[in-house]
Amino acid sequence: MDIVATPNNPEGNPELADAAPTPHEPAIIYRKDYRPFAWLVPETKLDFELGLDSTKVTAILSVEPNPQAEASGRIRLNGDGQAPLSVKVDGEAVNSWSVDGEDLIIPLSAESHEIEIATQIDPSANTQLEGLYASNGMLCTQCEAEGFRRITYFPDRPDVLSIFSVSMRGPADQFPVLLCNGNEVARGTTDDGIGWADWHDPWPKPSYLFALVAGNLVANSGTFTTMNGREVTLNIWVRQEDLSRTDHALESLRKSMKWDEEVFGREYDLDLYNIVAVSDFNMGAMENKGLNVFNTKYVLADEDTATDADYDAIEGVIAHEYFHNWSGNRVTCRDWFQLSLKEGFTVLRDQLFSQDMQGEAVKRIEDVRILRAAQFPEDSGPLAHPIRPDSYREISNFYTATVYNKGAEVIRMIRTMVGEARFRQGTDLYFDRHDGEAATCEDFVKAMEDGAEVDLSQFRLWYSQAGTPKVEASLLHSGDTTLLALKQEVPDTPGQSRKQPMVVPLKVALFDRDTGKHSGEQLLILDEAQKGFNFTGFDKPPILSINRGFSAPVTIQRDVPRDDLVFLAANDDDSFARYEAMQELVVGHLVAAARDSLSDTERTAGEDAIAQAMRAILADEALDDAMRGELMMLPSQTYLLEQVARDGATADPGTIHEQREGLKALLGARLAQPLRDIYERVANVPFNGEGARGALKVKTQVLTYVAASDPETAAELAARQYDQADNMTDRQGALMVLCGLDHPERTHKLLDFYTRYRGNALVIDKWFTLQALSLHPDALEHVKALAEHPDFNLKNPNRVRSLYMAFAGNPYAFHVESGEGYRLIADLILALDPINPQTAARFVPSLGKWRKIEPNRSELMRSELERIREAAKLSRDTYEQVARSLD
Ligand code: PHE
Ligand code: ZN
C-alpha cells in the first residue's frame, strides 16, 4: 500500500492512500483510459544550479484550466525520486500540498496560477541514465519517455506543451559549455568563476523533448542555408580528443536537412542545431528540440576506427533524429500508445533517406533482414503487441522493433498503395493539419485518407492486430491461364485471437518459362481470407516472383520447385526478390534438415541447387559487389529458428547450428576455386576506390565460407587481411573470422587489436563483441573471462551490450546444453536491474523465447525467468518483461 505524505505529515497517512498495487505488480495503464490533462501549462521557467553531485532545480509553471478537460480543484504533478524543498503558489509558500506515490498534488482553484517548486537532485548517483545525469564529468539529460519527472515535478506527459525558458549556472572550469533547447539568449562568467547561460525555445514542446548539457566540450561547426534562406548554425559537440572524428556526422546532418526539404518539403525552424555526443546512453540518440543528445556510437567515425556499416548507421541515425523535428516535435504524440506515430513514420523517413544515399536495393535488403531478426521473433512470442499497443506497465519496454520497424513497414505499405506523389499529399496534409499538436495514429491515417484520397478503413487493422500474417500462395495452371490463389492467416498473439483479414499489398511478377522474362510487375491487394487472381497468356506454368521489394511485412509460404528458386536467384530483376529466392532456397533446405525430414536424395538435391545458385551469384559479372555480398549471406540462425519453430513446433538450436555450419562448409569446399578467385579480385580493389565498399563486404563473406571448410587457409588469409588492413571494415572482418577459429593467430590478432585501440571505448566495444559473438567452441568461457576484464563496466550501456547483447545473440554459446548461457544472462539481468533497469529489461526477450525451444533447454530458460521473477526488488521494467514472458 502506498502512503500519502504531506509537508505536515512526512511519514504519510495510510488512510488517504489509494489502493495501490504492490511494488511487484506495477499498475497497468490502458490506452482506452486516456483523458486530457486538467491544466494547460503555457509557460515554464527552469533554473538550474549545476553540480555533479548536487543540482538545485527551481521550476516556475504558469498554469490555467484546460477548457477541453473537466475542471479540477487540484493539480497533479509527476515526480520520480523527488522531494519538494519548497512549494509556492502565486508567490506564497503553501503547505497544503501532498504526495501521492511519486506525484505531488497541490490544491488549486480553477483559474490561472503560477506554481514555483524547488527540488534537489544528485546527477552522479543517477546510474539509470534517465533525467539529469553525470557522464565523464559532464552533465546531460534524457527525458523521453518519463525522465523529466526525475528533474522536477511536472505534468510529464506528451500532450502538455509548454514554452520553456531556462537559466543555468555552474563552475565555469567544469562546465565551460552550457546548452539547452532553442536559442541562447545570453551568457557570461561572473568574477568568482561561475558560468551562466539563459536559453529560450520559442516552440511549445512536451517535457520529454527538454534537454540540457553542461560540460567541457568542443564543436565541429558548420552552417546550412534552408530553402527559404534561413542560415542555421550546426554544431557537433564532443570531447576535445574526439573532434577529429566528427566530419561524417556533420556532413550527414547537412544531407538530412537538404533531403527533408526536397522529399518531404520540411524546413528547419531554428537558427541553431546542436548535437552532443555522450558515452553513457541507454539508446541510440534523442531528438530533443534543437539539442539532440547522441550515443557516441552514432557520431564518431574515421577510417581507422569505424566500419562502412558504422558510417551508414551514423548517417541513418543523424537523419532519424533530424527528421523527428517534424515527425515527433512539431507534431508530437498525444500519449505513449501513439509512439509509432512518430517512430514508425520517422524510421520510414530515415530508411527512404538512406536508400537515396546508399543505394535502394542493398538498403532494402538490410532493413528486411533487421525486421526478420528483431521484429518477427517479437511478433511470434510472448511480447507480441500491435504497433499501437493497448496497455503497458512501463513504457520504456515499448520502444520495440514492432513500434519502430513494423511501424515503418505499415506506413510504407500505404506509400506503396497510393504511390509517391499521393503519399506526399498525405504527409503534407498531416503536417499542416496537426502542426503544434499532440496527435494520434488515427489522425495520421485520417490525413492519409484525405490527402492521398484512399480508403484505409480495413487497413487500420495493421494498427490494432499484432502478429505477422502468413500468406499462402499457390499457382494453378490450365490451358493458357494461371490462377494465383492467395490465402492469409493472422496468428493468435497474447490477448488477441480470431483475427480479421488484413490488407496485404503484394507486388508480383510472373516469369515466362521460355523467354525468362515477365511482362510487368503488378500490385495485388489481398484483403480477404482467400482471393484468386487470373493471368493469361502462358503456355507453361509461369515462375512466380512475389512480395517483390518486400511490399508487405508478411511471411510467404509456398510450394515451389527448387529450380524456380534457382532461376529467380540468378535472374529476378527485383533485387529484393532475387535475394529472397536465395534465402527461400536455403531456408527450405535447412529447415527440413533441422527437422530431420530430409531423405538422402532430397539432401543432395537441395545442396546441389544451393551450390548452383551460389556459383551463379559468384560468377555474375553484371552484379555489383555490394549486392553480391548480400546474396552470399546465409539466413541467420535466429531467422532459421523462427522458421523451424513455426506453427507451435519447437527448435533445437544445436541442430540448426550444425546444419547451417555444415552447409557453409560444403559450399566453401565445393566453391573453393571461385571463392579464391573472387577473393583475389576484391582484395586488389583499393580502399576508397570505385566499388570498394562492395569489395570489402564480399571479401569478408568469402572468408566465412573458407573458415567453415578450410580453417587453416582461412586463418592465413584472415591474418594477412588483418595485417594489411588500412581501414576498420577490413580489420574487423578479418578479426571476426579469426575469432571463430581455434588457431594461434586468433590470440595474436586479438591482442594486437586491443593494444592498438586501448582507450578508444567504441573500438574496445567491438573487441568485446567479436569475442562474445564468435562461434569458437569456448566462447562461453571467453565471455565469463571478459566479464572480469578491467575494461568491463556494468554502468556503461554500450559496454554491457557489447559483451552480453552479443552473447545473448550467439547462436551456439548462448544455447549450450548445460544452460550455463541462460544462467549467465539471468545473472546479468539481476545484477544490472538495480543499476539500469531499462537496459536490464532489454535482455529478457532472449530468455523469453523458451516456448520455441526443445524441451530440455526450454525448461532451463523458463526456470531462469522464474528465478528473476522471485528476486526481492525488481524494477517495473524487468518485472513487466519477465511476467509477460512467463504468462
Ligand atoms: N526517441 C528516440 C529515437 O527514436 C529514442 C529514445 C527513446 C532515446 C527513449 C532515449 C530514450 O530517436
Ligand atoms: Zn525515433
User: How much is the CA Rg of the chain, to the nearest whole Å?
Assistant: 28
Which one of the listed residues 116, 146, 315, 321 is annotated catalytic?
321
| pLDDT at position 21 | 46
Q: What is the pLDDT of residues 432-445, one digit of tens each?
A: 999 999 999 999 99
Q: Provide the grid cell at 304.
A: 581507422
> In percent, how much of the chain has pLDDT > 70?
97
| pLDDT at position 15 | 40
Atom of ligand 1 nearest to the CA of 130: 11
158 CA distance to ligand 2 centroid (A)?
15
Q: Going by CA atoms, what residue is nearest to atom 8 of ligand 1?
A: 286
Ligand 1 site, residue 881, Cβ cutoff 6 A: no
Mutate to test the pocket of ligand 1, among 299, 399, 798 (most ligand atoms within 8 A of CB): 399
As a whole number, the mean pLDDT across the chain is 96
Q: Which ligand is nearest to the CA of 281?
A: 1
Helix, strand, coil % over all residues of the chain, rounded to 5: 45, 20, 30
Average of pLDDT values for 242-267?
Answer: 99
Ligand 1 site, residue 146, Cβ cutoff 6 A: no
Atom of ligand 1 nearest to the CA of 404: 4
Ligand 1 site, residue 333, Cβ cutoff 6 A: no
Q: Which ligand is nearest to the CA of 140?
A: 1
Closest CA to 369 of 582, 646, 624: 582
pTM: 0.97
Atom of ligand 1 nearest to the CA of 317: 12
- pLDDT class for 316, splitting at 50, 70, 90? very high
Q: Which ligand is nearest to the CA of 350?
A: 2
ipTM passes above 0.95: yes
Q: What is the pLDDT of residues 531-571, one digit of tens each?
A: 999 999 999 999 999 999 999 999 999 999 999 999 999 99
Terminus-to-terminus CA distance in the chain, angstroms?
A: 25
Q: Going by CA atoms, what residue is nearest to atom 9 of ligand 1?
A: 144
| pLDDT at position 628 | 98
- Which residue bears the cell 529472397? 580
Ligand 1 site, residue 399, Cβ cutoff 6 A: yes
201 CA distance to ligand 2 centroid (A)?
21
- Which residue bears the cell 550527414? 252
Give the number of residues written for the chain: 887
Q: What is the pLDDT of residues 799-816, one digit of tens each?
A: 999 999 999 999 999 999
Mutate to test the pocket of ligand 1, among 286, 297, 327, 332 (most ligand atoms within 8 A of CB): 286
**Least confident interval from 71-75, 318-322, 686-690:** 686-690
Q: Provide the grid cell at 680.
A: 583475389
* CB proximity list for 466: less than 8 A, separation 6 or greater: 379, 384, 385, 386, 402, 493, 494, 496
- Which residue bears the cell 521460355? 514
* DSSP structure class, residue 562: H
Ligand 1 site, residue 842, Cβ cutoff 6 A: no
287 CA distance to ligand 1 centroid (A)?
7
Closest CA to 693 of 357, 317, 405, 371: 357
Q: Which ligand is nearest to the CA of 285?
A: 1
The answer to whether residues 503 and 461 touch, using CB atoms and an 8 Å cutoff, is: yes
Using the predicted structure, report yes or no on whether residue 787 has a pLDDT greater than 60. yes
| pLDDT at position 589 | 98
| pLDDT at position 25 | 85
| pLDDT at position 24 | 57
Q: Going by CA atoms, what residue is nearest to atom 12 of ligand 1?
A: 286
| pLDDT at position 710 | 98
Q: Going by CA atoms, what residue is nearest to atom 1 of ligand 1?
A: 286
Mutate to test the pocket of ligand 1, among 144, 299, 349 (most ligand atoms within 8 A of CB): 144
Using the predicted structure, report yes or no on whether residue 481 has a pLDDT greater than 80. yes
Q: Going by CA atoms, what residue is nearest to atom 3 of ligand 1?
A: 286
376 CA distance to ligand 1 centroid (A)?
21
Q: What is the pLDDT of residues 146-186, one digit of tens each?
A: 999 999 999 999 999 999 999 999 999 999 999 999 999 99
- pLDDT class for 287, splitting at 50, 70, 90? very high
| pLDDT at position 839 | 98
Using the predicted structure, report yes or no on whether residue 217 has a pLDDT greater than 70. yes
234 CA distance to ligand 2 centroid (A)?
20
- How many CA atoms, within 13 angstroms, populate the side-chain half-sphere of residue 650? 13
Ligand 1 site, residue 321, Cβ cutoff 6 A: yes
- Top pLDDT among 688 and 776 is at 776
286 CA distance to ligand 1 centroid (A)?
5
Average of pLDDT values for 839-867?
Answer: 98
Ligand 1 site, residue 738, Cβ cutoff 6 A: no
* CB proximity list for 561: less than 8 A, separation 6 or greater: none
Average of pLDDT values for 222-249?
Answer: 98
3-state secondary structure of 233: strand
Ligand 1 site, residue 343, Cβ cutoff 6 A: yes
Q: Provide the grid cell at 807.
A: 552473447
Ligand 1 site, residue 572, Cβ cutoff 6 A: no
| pLDDT at position 689 | 85
396 CA distance to ligand 1 centroid (A)?
10
Mutate to test the pocket of ligand 1, among 283, 397, 403 (most ligand atoms within 8 A of CB): 283
208 CA distance to ligand 1 centroid (A)?
10
320 CA distance to ligand 2 centroid (A)?
6
210 CA distance to ligand 1 centroid (A)?
13
Q: What is the pLDDT of residues 23-70, one digit of tens each?
A: 558 999 999 999 999 999 999 999 999 999 999 999 999 999 999 999
3-state secondary structure of 486: strand
Question: Is residue 712 among the annotated active site residues?
Answer: no
Distance set, CA 607 to CA 165, 503, 589, 616, 633 (Å): 67, 37, 8, 14, 16
| pLDDT at position 23 | 52
Ligand 1 site, residue 320, Cβ cutoff 6 A: yes
Find the helix packing angle between 562-571 and 575-594, rounded to 10°: 150
Q: Going by CA atoms, what residue is nearest to atom 5 of ligand 1?
A: 286
How many angstroms separate the most distant Cα atoms in the chain? Answer: 94
Atom of ligand 1 nearest to the CA of 399: 7
| pLDDT at position 688 | 86
Q: What is the pLDDT of residues 606-657, one digit of tens each?
A: 999 999 999 999 999 999 999 999 999 999 999 999 999 998 899 999 999 9
